Amino acid sequence: MSPPLRILGIETSCDETAASVVLRDDEGGGRILGDVVLSQLEEHSAYGGVVPEIAARAHVEALDALIAEALLRAGVTLREIDAIAATSGPGLIGGLIVGLMTGKAIARATGKPLYAVNHLEGHALTARLTDGLSFPYLMLLVSGGHTQLILVKGVGRYERWGTTIDDALGEAFDKTAKLLGLPYPGGPAVERAARAGDPERFDFPRPLVGDARLDFSFSGLKTAVRQAAQALEPVTDKDIADICASFQRAISRTLKDRVGRGLKRFKAEFAAAGEAAHPALVVAGGVAANEMLRTTLQSLCDALGFRFVAPPLALCTDNAAMIAWAGAERLAAGLPADGLDAAPRSRWPLDSEAQALIGSGKRGAKA
């Protein structure tokens, strides 16, 4: 048991500037008191992707006002905050510097402890804030920068079971959209186009299906999409719809195999030993908005006796509530705060034991 905690969270690792105040009650329950997110989508859309320099400048311009707004909505002053949690990696270094330096300045001025939080830990612990999930559980993180299957054993205790060896899943959606002439960000555009399409028309590859490891690969799929589109030149709307539907079907098959293997491994390691009476799979990241992905994961979980937990979309995508919550969990678990010398880290695997995979995380900035 730990006293109620109120934590200020700051998130600036990519293209969302966010601030939040979260309460952790003495029984470990969480409540978001104030939460603001400012998306930079418009600033970047003309470039078809996030431009680091533009992102960093936008964070500088917005962050102070957003922190004030989050505190106002929460109805608390800085004096009433117990600690500050700021994302210090992984992500775009310019943005990380802005958020972490701001967190340090507030910590210094108020004398409160600072937690330099790993952005991935924020995603990993969100399901405890939203659904009060108990350890251990499995998390699938699918965003523009990451595709990882992570075993969440406890606060600060993570094992990366699988990762992408090339593109992240959101990146595969974005690149596919780009080469079909669909707008950025590509995920929602591909999903929309796929609705009218025939998922059987193209038999796209499903890389690594059947592989004993739990890793992912999506660049071959993207290449196959390019070849299909080039062979049809000029592509019609019907062709685009069919390509998108077939692309999503290949992804669904891939996830079923890869994540299915992960769930079976989890069962063998924990549920069988009586350690996870109600095994659960949590999804996080922007691609969690995708209906096909949710349906695939839900039916997989139903078939294997898992609870499927999909936090509200605003908490699946980047936000500061998850960072504040991770800080609260660290504080409540008695983990030490970080010093004012904490450094931002553009790369920072959640599982320090995990081997870097060759070719992975090329974009590596977004989580």
Return the residue of 197, 286, 327, 344 that touches ligand KG4, per CB under 6 A. 286
**By CB under 6 A, is residue 197 in contact with ligand KG4?**
no
**Is 242 known to sit in a ligand binding site?**
no
Binding pattern to Zn ion, positions 142-181, x when CB under 5 A?
-x--------------------------------------
**Is 143 known to sit in a ligand binding site?**
yes
Q: Token pair of 162, please?
A: 């699988």
**Is 156 known to sit in a ligand binding site?**
no
**By CB under 5 A, is residue 318 in contact with Zn ion?**
yes
The residue to which tokens 């959640």 are assigned: 350
**Is 145 known to sit in a ligand binding site?**
yes
94 binds, options Zn ion, ligand KG4, none, Cβ within 5 to 8 A by partner type = none
DSSP state of 178: H
**Is 144 known to sit in a ligand binding site?**
yes
Note the Cα 356 to chain centre separation in Å.
Answer: 18
Break the chain down into helix, strand, coil percent, rounded to 5.
45, 20, 35
Cis amide prior to 311 (ω within 30 degrees):
no
Distance in Å, CB of 78 to ligand KG4, minimum: 28
Pick the closer one to Zn ion by CB: 186 or 279. Answer: 186
CA distance 313 to 316: 5
**Which of the residues 309 through 328 are near ligand KG4 (CB under 6 A)?**
317-318
**Is 75 known to sit in a ligand binding site?**
no
**By CB under 6 A, is residue 187 in contact with ligand KG4?**
yes
Return the residue of 115, 173, 218, 266 that touches ligand KG4, per CB under 6 A. 173
**By CB under 6 A, is residue 174 in contact with ligand KG4?**
yes
Pick the closer one to Zn ion by CB: 104 or 123. Answer: 123
Instruction: Identify which range of 40-48, 184-192, 198-206, 332-340 contacts ligand KG4 by CB under 6 A.
Output: 184-192
Pick the closer one to Zn ion by CB: 123 or 258. Answer: 123
Whether 12 contacts 67, CB under 8 Å: no
User: Distances from the Cα of 118 to the Cαs of 14, 159, 343, in angstroms?
Assistant: 13, 14, 12
The Cα diameter of the chain in Å comes to: 64
Whether 30 contacts 9, CB under 8 Å: no
Q: Which residues of 134-150 are buried (b: 16+ CB within 10 A; e: fewer)?
A: eebbbbbbbbbbbbbbb
Nearest by Cα to 167 from 90, 222, 100: 222
3-state SS assignment for residue 320? coil
Binding residues: 119, 123, 141-145, 174, 187, 191, 290, 318
By CB under 6 A, name the binding residues for ligand KG4.
Answer: 14, 143-145, 170, 173-174, 185-188, 191, 285-287, 289-290, 317-318, 366
